[in-house]
Structures are given as structure tokens and as C-alpha cells.
């Protein structure tokens, strides 16, 4: 075994037991040390002093000199010194690997490493604090201690001279005209170039065969537009660091919905097959009602709706207008079985994991900005639920009326570390809200005027959370227990209060978002669920936990006082909370993703040329192993839906929720999960993951995990010797 393979051998050892039946979880720490010694330190460009390093990074156009010039030189020296002094070791091999592979600044030839984790944290702290030295130090502390983690685009790009934008994703409306379609494609190219994921709403596009200029059977429908978008996303990427990625959303009652779904089938004709574009469905309440009653569902022509209503299909409630649309002879309609529709959706999700789902009436019924616009789509990860308004164009694609499109300014709290903040949890949330607000006020969105307009009007942010399963397991709480639901409810109840309070405080200096006076925040009606009811912790275990951490739960009176403060001062941000899937940053933070359970106590990942990497769950040991043993597939969808529903009560946007099904699951099981999520008022469903398994002795593995299993076993046995 060569020296270069030591860290791989140690890492692989984590999934095997010793002669006493105990797992080698400590071997992952050995893998970190070996990886740093073998791969990182020998390839790091070293400097004699901080000044020499910063001078080099600025001179060679790696660091943004303007950011450093915003602070006193002595402070710059102090914050780098504090970072070096207070840095924490990586908690997992995957965390170290993820950082140096995906985030660390390297020379242009990628031969030498220019940053370690603490350096990247400093540059983020300086950027997010916007010249406020106290805030910079506080954010440094929060990030080093893994209490708060900016989303990948922010963490990756902060402080760099050559960078993409800090924003995670963008949402664009597409209207039923060539100018809007062209603008959507060109804007997608521009934003993909800058590193963001895109989602576009295609609901308003006229269906295949609809008239053009009064001539029947002329429209080619949505598929050609999807093809153009797919090509655009595959072409544009951020200097090769983040591949272009896009999603398209379509309303369930659009006439081409079945064709839309068919584009993802493995055996689809190449003329319509969509390989890399993600699909999302917008599903109203009426669709579920029709399926429950085993009725046919009508698909309505968006071309006719716009002519009858004077507004696009997206801008009316299909549930409310369904009977009127049925009765209107001027609106063309076709019919399909509602149950067959859901059956097809389930079949496709078993086959591809798509489509995502956004529950239209669920998100619009709680939309505090309903006077300004409707929520008509979500994003690439299904956690954004914001209103948008249409734009209109001249033939040269210049704007005649600028609408509001959406940007996602995201970051996440690590629940386990946030709980350790105890009585300072409010300060942590305040720092995080201010950091994300800074992202919303710092990005250059001039390439996408409608996104820029929406961002400047709303300064919407999405503060989320991760490591729920990690916190529960390390406190010996099973994910599918009543205590888990009780804790989730209480944590997000408190998070919502402190987020709104922080945004209210921020409004004193930044002013309110543009539409505050029209929102349900202004009259206090949004907050009735807090001012008219008292939150109660239901289980003794959670009461003890909250007391142990000195974690304050706001009272009913606290909410009443906050509502009065909001009426007086407003809110700086139109939206505050959204729980992203946190795939990359949870690995970086060595914690469990989002609110999801782990897939297994030791997850198997494929990481490029390195091959297989084993990822032990957060702080796993032989004492808490049983609390991780029941993974996402074994738990099934119900506990995940229940957890998400508990948090969703307090999250003003949505929560990225993946459902996991075993190989024995049927489409009926999946349909049942949709209905459960819908009834529980979850806002959306992200992916559906279906496990195909084969058995090896007494262990069960995903089929792809068996490919290098024996190689890893041989490697580990050598390592043990």
C-alpha cells in the first residue's frame, strides 16, 4: 500500500467492525490527518507573513482589494490572527475533502492551495459584515464554530476578485410571447455564467396547436422551449466551478402536462426527451379533490384563459375558478383521469426522481404578499416560495414594464451548534439575518433587470437549518418520535421569532422592503397564530433539553410586543426563512443535511477521481449508533413529512423535502405520501429517492455500493495490520 492511499484506507475502515463488534469511527479522524499530511500541506503555497500573503493575493488578482480596504489594517491582522488561533479541526474526512476540492482558493493552474478553511471564513466575515468590525468578529466566531454557514455561492465567492455571484438560485417567469421566451433564455445564460441555479415557470405558454395570430394549430408548445433551456444550462457554467443547472415548473392543469412528464421517461423519443433539466409541478387543491372523488380533471388552455380573464393562467387560482372555467365555452379544455395523473407522476418519480411538487394553494393561502402577487413556482431545490409579477417587452427585448423576479439569498444554522449558543441564540439569528441581508444588497444583478428589481424591492432572504438528525441522535432521540416533533416545533417557533425581530431591527437602518405596507405583516394578521395561541412544549425530554441549553422560547406576550414593533418600524426583508437541502454545506460542516434523516450511519459517496468516500454521521459513536441505524429508507416518508410539517408551521417559505422509498414500495405508497404531505400542509416535495438493494451476507447495501466493496475491505484489513 502506497503512502498516498493511507487516508483512503482509514476512511474506508469507518464502516467495519472490530473483533468486539465496535465500529472504527475514530478512523475517520485518522483519515483527516493523513489527508492533510499527504495531499494538502505539501501542496500549499506558504508565505513568511500575512502581509506578504495578502499582497500576493491582491497583486495576482485573487482577492478583492476593495473589500480589504474597507477595514483598518490592524483589524485585518487581528481577525486573521483570531481565525488562526480559534480554528477548529475538521470533524470528518468528507468535510476536509469537500473544502479543499470545492471551496479553497487555488492558483490558476490548480497546482497550489492558497487558502485554508479559516482563511475562507475570514473573507466571508469581512464581506458579510460590510465594514462593521464587531459584526465581522461575531460572524467569524459563528462560522468557525459552525453555528452559521453561508450557502455555497456566498462561501465560495466572498472576497474573490474573479468570482460569480453570491446568490444560490433565481426564479424567472416566462410569459406567452417570443420576447419573454427569448429574455428567459438569455437571462438564464447570464445568471448560469455567474453560478446560480435557475428555475423558470412555463405555465403561461400556450399549448401545442394553439393559435398564433388567429391561425389555428400553429403553436409548437412547451417542449421546444425546454430543449432550448436545457442547451443553455449545459453551455454556461461559472469558470467550470459550478455547472449550469435549471428547472422548469408547469401547472398540473396545463394542457401539455402529460407531455411535460413524458419528457423525463427513459424511453422517451429523443425529439422530446429532456435529460438534464429538472421538472417541477405546481399542484392546486382541486387536483387532490378530483383524485379523491375519482373524477376527471380538466386541463385549461392558457391562451384562452388570458383572453377571457385578462391575466395569465399563473395569476388566477385554478381551485377557485375551476367551476367557472369548466362552464366557460370560450376556454378550451381537455380531460384526463385525476388518479391516472397522480399514477403517472409516481411512475416517473420511481424512474427519475422527478418531478418536484409545489402545493399551490398551500403556499398562496399563507402568502403574506397576496395583494402584490401570487406564488407560481419554486426553485431548483423547492424551498423558495415568493411571489413574482410579469414583465413586458418591446420587440428588441427592451422592457416596457419591469416585473419582479426572484433571487435566493441563503444560509443555514447548524441546529446542534446553534443550541449550544443557548441564551445567545437571538444574537446568532441576528448576525445570520444581517449577513444574508448583506448578500441581498451586494450582488450585481444588472444582467437580469427583473431579478434585480425584485431583489431591490424585497431583499428576501432564506435562513434555514441543518443537522436536525445529528442533534436528535446525539441526544438519544429517535427521528420518528414524538420528542423529535416537539423539538422541531419549538426550535423553529423560536427561530421565526428571532428572525422577524432581527429584520425589524434592521429596518431601522435599512428601511422596510418596498411592499411592507401592503403585506399581512403590516396589519399583524400574519402573526395571529402566535398572538392568539400559546406555544407549549409537550414532552418532558424536550423541556429538559431546552432548560439544559438555556434556550429561550418566546412567550405570547413577546410576540404581541414584536408585532407592535413591526407595525412601527417595518421589516427589512419580505421573506425570512427557507430550509434548503444543504447537500454541500452539510458535508463541509460535517453534519446531517437539512431536516432529513441520514441515509445510513455511514453514508457512501462517490467523489470524482477519488472514488468512494465514507461519511460517518454527525458525532456518531458506538453509544448513539442505534439512533442513526434507522435511516431514511427504513423510516420511510411519514416521519420525514411529520418533521417537515412541524417546522413548516413557522417557515414563511418552504422546506426542501426528499422522500425515500425502499425497493418494495409501490406507486400507491408514493401517492399516499403525496396525500399525507398535502394534508399536513407541507409546501413542497423535492426529490423522491428509491433504493434498489442487493444483499451481501448479513449486510444490505445499495447496488452501486458493492462495486468497490471488496477493494475497500482488503484496504481496511491492511490498515488494521
Catalytic residue flag (residue 379): yes
Residues 351 and 382: their CA atoms lie apart, in Å, by 19
Closest CA to 673 of 697, 690, 648, 694: 690
Helix 425-440 to helix 482-510 angle (10° resolution) is 60
On whether the CB atoms of residues 153 and 127 are closer than 8 A, the answer is: no
As a whole number of angstroms, the distance between CA 475 and CA 544 comes to: 11
Cβ count within 10 A of residue 111:
9
- By the 8 A CB rule, do 658 and 581 touch? yes
Give the C-alpha distances (Å, rounded to integers) separating 20 from 17, 24, 68, 215, 470: 7, 11, 55, 78, 25
Under 8 Å between Cβ of 632 and 558: no
Q: How many CA within 13 A on the CB side of residue 221?
A: 16
- In terms of DSSP bridges, do strands 611-616 and 602-607 run parallel, antiparallel, or are they unpaired? antiparallel
Other beta carbons less than 10 A from residue 339's beta carbon:
17
User: Any alpha helices (H) in 45-173, and if so which ranges?
Assistant: 50-59, 65-69, 73-86, 93-98, 117-129, 133-144, 152-157
Report how far apart, in Å, the C-alpha atoms of 130 and of each of 82, 139, 309, 436, 501 are. 19, 11, 47, 11, 21
3-state secondary structure of 97: helix
Which listed residue (124, 379, 455, 458) is catalytic? 379
Residue 617 sits at the vertex; the CA angle it makes with 612 and 620, to the nearest 5 degrees, is 125
Write phi, then psi, for 290 (nearest 5 degrees). Answer: -65, -40
* Cβ contact 359:629 at 8 Å: no
Grid cell at residue 582: 444543504
Nearest to residue 426, comparing CAs of 503, 537, 520? 503
> Please, what sign has the CA dihedral across residues 346, 349, 355, 356?
positive
Q: How far apart are CA 525 and CA 529, in angstroms?
A: 9
* Residue 391, C-beta contacts closer than 8 angstroms, at least 6 positions apart: 173, 175, 180, 183, 399, 401, 402, 403, 405, 450
- Residue 73: all three cell numbers together: 489594517
Q: Which three cell numbers stand for residue 638?
A: 411519514
For residue 167, CA distances in Å to 153, 557, 629, 657 come to 6, 36, 36, 21
Q: Is 383 a catalytic residue?
A: yes
Q: What is the DSSP string of 576-595?
A: -B-B---HHHHHHTTS--TT
- The residues with which 335 forms a beta bridge, in sequence order, are 298
Given the residues 179, 207, 383, 483, the one annotated as active site: 383
CB atoms within 10 A of CB 143: 26
SS (H, E, C) 409-448: CEEEEEHHHHHHCHHHHHHHHHHHHHHHHHHHCCCCCCCC
Residues belonging to the active site: 379, 381, 383
Amino acid at each position: 500500500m502506497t503512502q498516498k492511499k493511507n487516508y483512503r484506507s482509514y476512511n474506508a475502515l469507518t464502516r467495519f467492525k472490530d473483533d468486539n463488534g465496535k465500529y472504527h469511527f475514530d478512523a475517520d479522524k485518522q483519515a483527516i490527518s493523513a489527508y492533510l499530511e499527504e495531499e494538502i500541506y505539501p501542496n500549499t503555497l506558504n508565505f513568511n507573513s500575512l502581509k506578504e500573503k495578502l499582497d500576493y493575493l491582491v497583486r495576482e488578482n485573487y482577492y478583492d482589494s476593495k473589500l480589504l480596504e474597507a477595514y483598518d489594517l490592524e483589524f485585518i491582522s487581528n481577525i486573521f490572527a483570531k481565525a488562526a488561533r480559534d480554528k477548529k479541526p475538521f470533524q470528518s474526512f468528507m468535510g476536509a475533502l469537500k473544502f479543499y476540492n470545492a471551496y479553497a482558493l487555488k492558483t490558476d493552474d490548480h497546482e497550489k492551495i492558497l487558502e485554508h478553511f479559516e482563511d475562507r471564513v475570514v473573507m466571508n466575515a469581512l464581506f458579510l459584515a460590510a465594514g462593521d468590525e464587531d459584526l465581522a468578529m461575531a460572524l467569524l466566531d459563528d462560522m468557525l464554530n459552525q453555528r452559521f454557514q453561508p450557502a455555497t455561492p456566498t462561501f465560495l465567492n466572498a472576497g474573490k476578485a474573479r468570482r460569480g455571484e453570491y446568490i444560490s438560485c433565481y426564479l424567472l417567469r416566462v410569459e406567452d410571447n417570443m420576447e419573454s421566451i427569448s429574455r428567459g433564455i438569455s437571462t438564464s445564460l447570464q445568471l448560469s455564467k455567474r453560478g446560480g441555479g435557475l428555475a423558470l415557470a412555463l405555465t403561461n405558454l400556450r399549448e401545442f396547436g394553439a393559435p398564433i395570430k388567429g391561425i389555428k394549430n400553429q403553436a409548437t408548445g412547451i417542449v421546444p422551449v425546454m430543449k432550448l433551456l436545457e442547451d443553455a444550462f449545459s453551455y454556461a457554467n461559472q469558470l467550470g466551478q459550478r455547472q449550469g443547472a435549471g428547472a422548469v415548473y408547469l401547472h398540473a392543469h396545463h394542457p401539455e402536462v402529460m407531455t411535460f412528464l413524458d419528457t423525463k421517461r427513459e424511453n422517451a423519443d429523443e425529439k422530446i426527451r429532456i435529460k438534464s433539466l429538472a421538472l417541477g409541478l405546481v399542484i392546486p387543491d382541486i387536483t387532490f379533490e378530483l383524485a379523491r372523488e375519482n373524477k376527471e380533471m380538466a386541463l385549461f388552455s392558457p391562451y384562452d384563459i388570458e383572453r377571457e380573464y385578462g391575466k395569465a393562467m399563473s395569476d388566477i387560482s385554478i381551485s377557485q375558478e375551476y367551476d367557472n372555467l369548466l362552464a366557460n365555452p370560450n376556454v378550451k379544455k381537455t380531460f384526463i383521469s385525476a388518479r391516472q395523473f397522480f399514477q403517472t407522476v409516481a411512475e416517473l418519480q420511481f424512474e427519475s426522481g422527478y418531478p418536484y411538487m409545489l402545493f399551490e394553494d398551500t403556499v398562496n393561502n399563507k402568502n403574506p404578499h397576496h395583494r402584490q402577487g401570487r406564488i407560481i413556482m419554486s426553485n431548483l431545490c423547492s424551498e423558495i416560495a415568493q411571489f413574482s409579477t410579469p414583465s413586458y417587452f418591446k420587440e428588441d427585448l427592451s422592457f416596457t414594464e419591469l416585473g419582479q423576479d426572484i433571487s435566493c439569498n441563503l444560509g443555514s444554522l447548524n441546529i446542534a451548534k446553534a443550541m449550544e449558543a443557548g441564551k445567545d441564540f437571538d444574537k446568532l439569528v441576528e448576525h445570520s439575518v444581517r449577513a444574508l441581508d448583506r448578500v441581498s444588497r451586494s450582488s450585481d444583478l444588472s444582467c437580469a433587470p427583473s431579478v434585480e428589481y425584485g431583489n431591490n424591492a424585497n431583499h428576501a432572504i432564506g435562513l434555514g437549518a441543518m443537522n436536525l438528525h445529528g442533534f436528535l441522535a446525539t441526544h438519544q432521540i429517535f427521528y420518528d418520535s414524538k420528542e423529535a416533533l416537539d423539538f422541531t416545533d419549538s426550535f423553529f417557533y423560536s427561530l421565526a421569532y428571532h428572525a422577524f425581530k432581527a429584520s425589524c431591527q434592521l429596518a431601522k437602518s435599512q428601511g422596510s422592503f418596498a411592499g411592507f405596507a401592503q403585506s399581512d405583516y403590516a396589519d399583524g394578521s400574519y402573526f395571529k397564530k402566535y398572538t392568539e395561541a400559546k406555544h407549549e412544549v409537550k414532552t418532558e425530554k424536550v423541556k429538559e433539553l431546552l432548560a439544559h441549553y438555556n434556550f429561550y422560547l418566546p412567550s405570547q406576550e413577546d410576540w404581541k410586543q414584536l408585532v407592535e414593533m413591526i407595525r412601527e418600524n417595518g421589516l427589512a426583508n419580505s421573506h425570512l426563512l427557507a430550509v434548503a437541502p444543504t447537500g454541500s454545506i452539510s458535508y463541509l460542516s460535517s453534519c446531517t443535511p437539512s431536516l432529513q434523516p441520514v441515509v445510513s450511519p455511514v453514508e457512501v459517496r462517490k467523489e470524482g477521481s477519488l472514488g468512494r468516500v465514507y461519511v460517518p454521521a454527525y458525532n456518531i459513536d458506538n453509544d448513539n449508533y442505534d439512533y442513526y441505524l434507522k435511516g431514511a429508507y427504513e423510516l420511510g416518508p411519514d416521519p420525514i413529512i411529520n418533521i417537515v410539517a412541524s417546522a413548516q408551521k413557522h417557515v414563511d417559505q418552504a422546506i426542501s423535502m426528499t422522500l425515500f422509498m425502499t425497493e418494495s414500495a409501490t406507486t400507491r405508497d408514493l401517492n399516499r405520501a403525496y396525500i399525507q404531505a398535502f394534508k399536513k400542509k407541507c409546501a413542497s416535495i423535492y426529490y423522491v429517492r428509491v433504493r434498489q438493494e442487493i444483499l451481501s451476507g448479513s449486510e444490505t447495501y445499495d447496488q452501486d455500493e458493492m462495486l468497490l466493496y471488496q477493494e475497500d475491505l482488503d484496504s481496511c484489513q491492511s490498515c488494521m495490520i
